[in-house]
Amino acid sequence: MPEIILKNVTKKFGKFVAVDHLDLRIESNAFITLLGPSGCGKTTTLRMIAGLETPTEGTISIGDRVVFDADRGINLPPNKRDVGFLFQNYALWPHMTVYQNIAFGLENLKWDKQRIGNRVRELLEMLHIESFEKRYPSELSGGQQQRVAIARTLAPGPKVLFMDEPLSNLDAKLRMDMRTELKRLHRDTDSTFVYVTHDQLEAMTLSTRVCIMETGVLQQYAPPLEMYSDPANLFVAGFMGSPTMNFIDGRLHADGTVSFGHLAASFKGPDGFVPEEKDIILGIRPEYIHIGPDGELPATVYSTLPSGMETTVRLEADSLALTAVVFDDVDYPVDSKVLYSFRKAAILFDKASGKNFARGSLDRPHAV
Amino acid sequence: MRKLLSVVLALMLVLGSVPAFADIAADIEAGQGLTHEELVEKALAESGTFVVYGNTSRIATAAEDFAALYGIPTESNNLKDQEIYTKLRSETGSSAADMVMIQDGAQLTDAIDEGLVLNFVPASVKDLLDEADQQPALVHQYINKLFIYNNLGDQVPAIRNVWELTAPEMKGNVIFKNPESEKVNMNFLVMCTKDEWADKLAAAYELWKGEPISLGEYKNAGYKWVAEFLANVTFGKSDTTIAEEVSQETAAGKIGLFVLSKLRSSSVLTDNLTVAQYDGYQNSYSVEPFAGFMYPMYTMINSKATRPYTGMLFIEYLMTQEGFQPWGKSIGAYSPNASIPVNEGDLSIDVWKASLVMEDAAYILESFEVEDFILQHCQK
Amino acid sequence: MDQAKPAKSRALRVLGQIRSWLSQPSNIILLFFLIALTVLTLYPLLSMLTETFTIHTGREARAARLTAGTLSMYHFERLFATAENDYSWIQFYQPLLNTLLVSIAASLIAIFFGGTVAFLVTRTDLKYKKFVSGVFTFPYIMPAWTLALFWETFFKNVHIGLKTSNGIMASVFGVYMPEWFVYGAFPIALVLGLHYAPFAYILIGGILRNMDANLEEAATILKTSRGRVIWKITLPIVKPAMLSTLLLVFASSMSAYSVPVFLGSPVRFYVLSTKMKSLMDSYPGQAYIIVGVMILFGVSILLLNQKVTNSRKQFTTVTGKSGQISKIRLRKANRPIAVLLVILLLLFAVVPLITFAMESVIIKAGDYSLKNMTLDFWIGTHLEERLDQGDSTGILLNPKVWNALGFSLALAVTCALVAGTCGILVGYGVARKRGTRLAGWVNSLSFFPYLMPSLAFGAIYLAMSSRIPWLRGFLLLSLVGSVKYLPFASRSGVNAMLQLSGEIEEAAVITGVPWWKRMLRVLFPIQKSSFLSGYLLPLVSCMRELSLFVLLVPTSNTILTTMLMQYSEKGWAQFGNAINLLIILVVLLINYLVNKLTGASIDKGVGG
Query: C419-440, pLDDT tens digit by residue?
Result: 999 999 999 999 888 878 898 8
How far is residue B149's CA from residue C193's CA, in Å, rounded to a whole number? 38
Are A45 and A97 in contact by the 8 Å Cβ rule? The answer is no
Q: Does residue C163 sit at the A interface (CB-CB below 8 Å)?
A: no
Facing residue for A78 by CB, picked from C509, C517, C522: C509
Chain A residues 143-162 within an 8 A CB cutoff of chain C: 152-153, 156
Q: How far does A237 lie from chain C, in Å, by closest CA?
A: 33
How far is residue A191's CA from residue A185's CA, in Å, rounded to a whole number? 9
Are A294 and A280 in contact by the 8 Å Cβ rule? The answer is no
What Å distances lie between residue B127 and B147, B215, B341, C101, CA to CA? 34, 46, 16, 60
Are C275 and C99 in contact by the 8 Å Cβ rule? The answer is no
Facing residue for B77 by CB, picked from C363, C392, C556: C556
- The residue with greater pLDDT, C208 or B309, is B309
Query: Does an interface of 3+ CB pairs under 8 Å exist between B and A?
Result: no
Task: With beta carbons under 8 A apart, name residues in chain C contacting A75.
Answer: 16, 19-20, 23
Residue contact A71–C526, C-beta within 8 A? no
Residue contact A79–C512, C-beta within 8 A? yes
Cβ within 8 Å of residue A351, ≥6 positions away: A249, A278, A279, A280, A281
Residue contact C16–A75, C-beta within 8 A? yes
How far is residue B312's CA from residue B40's CA, in Å, rounded to a whole number? 9
Q: Does residue C511 sit at the A interface (CB-CB below 8 Å)?
A: yes
Q: Does residue C94 sit at the B interface (CB-CB below 8 Å)?
A: yes
Q: What is the pLDDT at residue B12?
A: 45
Whether B19-141+296-354 shares its CATH topology with B144-292+357-379 is answered: yes
Task: With beta carbons under 8 A apart, name residues in chain B contacting C571.
Answer: 237-244
pLDDT tens readout for residues C447-483: 888 888 888 888 888 877 777 777 778 899 999 999 9
How many C-beta atoms lie closer than 10 Å to residue C214's C-beta? 15
pLDDT tens readout for residues C241-297: 788 788 888 988 988 888 998 899 888 899 999 898 888 878 889 999 998 998 898
Facing residue for C388 by CB, picked from B79, B172, B266: B266
SS3 state at C270:
coil
Q: Does residue A73 sit at the C interface (CB-CB below 8 Å)?
A: yes
How far is residue A210's CA from residue C51's CA, in Å, rounded to a whole number? 67
A57-62 and A160-164 as β-strands: parallel, antiparallel, unpaired? Answer: unpaired
Percent of chain A with pLDDT over 90: 52
Q: Does residue B196 sit at the C interface (CB-CB below 8 Å)?
A: no
Q: What is the pLDDT at residue A209?
A: 94
Q: What is the pLDDT at residue C65?
A: 86
Facing residue for A105 by CB, picked from C501, C513, C526: C513
Task: With beta carbons under 8 A apart, name residues in chain A contacting C504.
Answer: 91, 93
Facing residue for B110 by CB, picked from C58, C387, C555: C58
Q: What is the pLDDT at residue C604?
A: 55
Residues C525-548 have a mean pLDDT of: 84
- What sign for the dihedral angle of Cα B226, B229, B233, B236? negative
Are B375 and C85 in contact by the 8 Å Cβ rule? The answer is yes
Residues A326-341 have a mean pLDDT of: 92
Are A342 and A323 in contact by the 8 Å Cβ rule? The answer is no
Per DSSP, helices labelled H in C25-159 are 25-37, 43-51, 59-64, 74-80, 87-88, 94-123, 129-135, 138-141, 144-155
Please say if the pLDDT value at position C319 is more than 50: no
For the ranges C112-121, C205-214, C242-251, the lowest mean pLDDT is seen at C205-214
Q: Which of C106, C137, C107 is nearest to C205 (CA)?
A: C137
Are A241 and A225 in contact by the 8 Å Cβ rule? The answer is no
Instruction: Report the interhelical angle of C272-282 vs C284-310 (nearest 10°).
Output: 150
SS3 state at A245:
coil
> Which chains sit next to C, with 3 or more Cβ pairs under 8 A?
A, B
Q: Which of B185, B218, B229, B158 is nearest to B82 (CA)?
A: B185
How many C-beta atoms lie closer than 10 Å to residue B270's C-beta? 14
Q: Does residue C570 sit at the B interface (CB-CB below 8 Å)?
A: yes
**Domains, chain A, ranges and CATH?**
4-238 (3.40.50.300), 246-367 (2.40.50.140)
Domains in chain B: boundaries:
19-141+296-354, 144-292+357-379
DSSP C177: -
Q: What is the pLDDT at residue C4?
A: 52
Chain A residues 74-93 within an 8 A CB cutoff of chain C: 74-75, 77-80, 83-85, 87-89, 91-93
In degrees, to the nearest 5, what angle opens at C-alpha C452 toward C-alphas C446 and C454?
115
> Which chains sit next to B, with 3 or more Cβ pairs under 8 A?
C
Cβ within 8 Å of residue C542, ≥6 positions away: C411, C412, C415, C416, C481, C485
Task: Give the pLDDT band of residue C316 (cuts 50, 70, 90).
Answer: very low
How far is residue C222's CA from residue C224's CA, in Å, rounded to a whole number? 6
Task: With beta carbons under 8 A apart, name residues in chain C contacting B365.
Answer: 59, 62
Q: Which of C336, C286, C287 is nearest to C120 (CA)?
A: C336
Q: How far does C493 lie from chain A, in Å, by closest CA?
A: 19
Are B333 and B340 in contact by the 8 Å Cβ rule? The answer is no
How far is residue B102's CA from residue B108's CA, in Å, rounded to a whole number? 8
Q: Does residue C507 sit at the A interface (CB-CB below 8 Å)?
A: yes
How far is residue B265's CA from residue B145's CA, in Å, rounded to a whole number? 15
Instruction: Report the interhelical angle of C573-598 vs C351-359 (nearest 10°).
Output: 140
Q: What is the pLDDT at residue C320?
A: 35
Task: Give the pLDDT band of residue C556 (cuts 50, 70, 90).
Answer: low
Provide the ipTM: 0.83
Amino acid at C164: T
How far is residue B140's CA from residue C389's CA, in Å, rounded to a whole number? 21
How far is residue C320's CA from residue C137's CA, in Å, rounded to a whole number? 26
Please say if the pLDDT value at position A111 is more than 80: yes
- The residue with greater pLDDT, C388 or A11, is A11
Task: With beta carbons under 8 A apart, name residues in chain C contacting B90.
Answer: 462-463, 465-466
Task: With beta carbons under 8 A apart, name residues in chain B contacting C59.
Answer: 107, 110, 365, 368
Domain boundaries B19-141+296-354, corresponding CATH code: 3.40.190.10
Q: Does residue B266 sit at the C interface (CB-CB below 8 Å)?
A: yes
pTM, two decimals, is 0.81
Yes or no: domain B144-292+357-379 corresponds to CATH 3.40.190.10? yes
Query: Does an interface of 3+ CB pairs under 8 Å exist between A and C?
Result: yes
Domain boundaries C100-272+302-359, corresponding CATH code: 1.10.3720.10
For the ranges B220-234, B290-304, C327-341, the lowest mean pLDDT is seen at C327-341
Residue contact C511–A89, C-beta within 8 A? no
pLDDT tens readout for residues A116-155: 999 999 999 988 899 999 999 888 888 899 899 999 998 8
Q: Which of A172, A153, A171 is nearest to A163 (CA)?
A: A153
Q: What is the pLDDT at residue C6?
A: 66
Facing residue for B379 by CB, picked from C90, C158, C551: C90
Residue contact C462–B245, C-beta within 8 A? no
**Which residues are paired to A197 by β-bridges?**
A35
**Three-state secondary structure string covering C72-95:** CCHHHHHHHCCCHHHHHHHHHHHH
Q: Which of C80, C56, C59 is nearest to C70 (CA)?
A: C56
Chain B residues 166-185 within an 8 A CB cutoff of chain C: 172-173, 175, 178, 180-181, 183
Indicate the helix (H) or strand (E) that contains A69: strand A65-69
- What sign for the dihedral angle of Cα B229, B232, B236, B241? negative
For chain A, give the mean pLDDT. Answer: 90
Task: Give the pLDDT band of residue C30 (cuts 50, 70, 90).
Answer: very high
Are C524 and C457 in contact by the 8 Å Cβ rule? The answer is no
Please say if the pLDDT value at position B17 is more than 50: no
Residues B14-35 have a mean pLDDT of: 72
> Residue C223, by phi and psi: left (phi above 0), alpha (psi -120 to 50) or beta?
left
Amino acid at A19: V
Are B154 and B146 in contact by the 8 Å Cβ rule? The answer is no
Task: Give the pLDDT band of residue B108 (cuts 50, 70, 90).
Answer: very high
Q: Does residue C566 sit at the B interface (CB-CB below 8 Å)?
A: yes
Please say if the pLDDT value at position C388 is more than 70: no
For chain C, give the mean pLDDT. Answer: 83
Residue contact C16–A89, C-beta within 8 A? no
Are A241 and A298 in contact by the 8 Å Cβ rule? The answer is no
Task: With beta carbons under 8 A apart, name residues in chain C contacting B372.
Answer: 84-85, 87
Cβ within 8 Å of residue C302, ≥6 positions away: C247, C444, C447, C451
Percent of chain B with pLDDT over 90: 54
Task: With beta carbons under 8 A apart, name residues in chain B contacting C278.
Answer: 180-181
Instruction: Report the interhelical angle of B308-318 vs B321-328 (nearest 10°).
Output: 70
How far is residue C43's CA from residue C536's CA, in Å, rounded to a whole number? 28
Are B54 and B318 in contact by the 8 Å Cβ rule? The answer is no
Are B311 and B50 in contact by the 8 Å Cβ rule? The answer is yes
With 0-12 / 13-18 / 19 or more C-beta atoms within 10 angstroms meaning exposed / middle / buried, residue B312 is: buried
DSSP C328: B
Domains in chain C: boundaries:
100-272+302-359, 398-608
pLDDT tens readout for residues C129-183: 888 887 888 888 788 888 888 888 889 888 888 888 888 888 888 889 999 999 9
Q: What is the pLDDT at residue B14?
A: 43
Task: Extract the runs of DSSP E, i.e. beta strands, from B80-183.
Answer: 99-102, 117-118, 138-150, 174-177
Backbone φ and ψ for B147, nearest 5 degrees, come out as -75, 120
Yes or no: domain C398-608 corresponds to CATH 3.40.50.620? no
Task: Give the pLDDT band of residue B10 (cuts 50, 70, 90).
Answer: very low
The total number of residues shown for chain B amounts to 380
Q: Distance between terminal CA atoms of chain C?
A: 50
**Which residues are paired to A31 by β-bridges?**
A193
Q: What is the pLDDT at residue A68?
A: 92
> Residue C111, by phi and psi: left (phi above 0), alpha (psi -120 to 50) or beta?
alpha
Question: Mutation test of the interface with chain C: which of A69, A89, A90, A95, choosing the one with the most C Cβ atoms within 10 A?
Answer: A95
For chain B, give the mean pLDDT. Answer: 88
Amino acid at A217: V
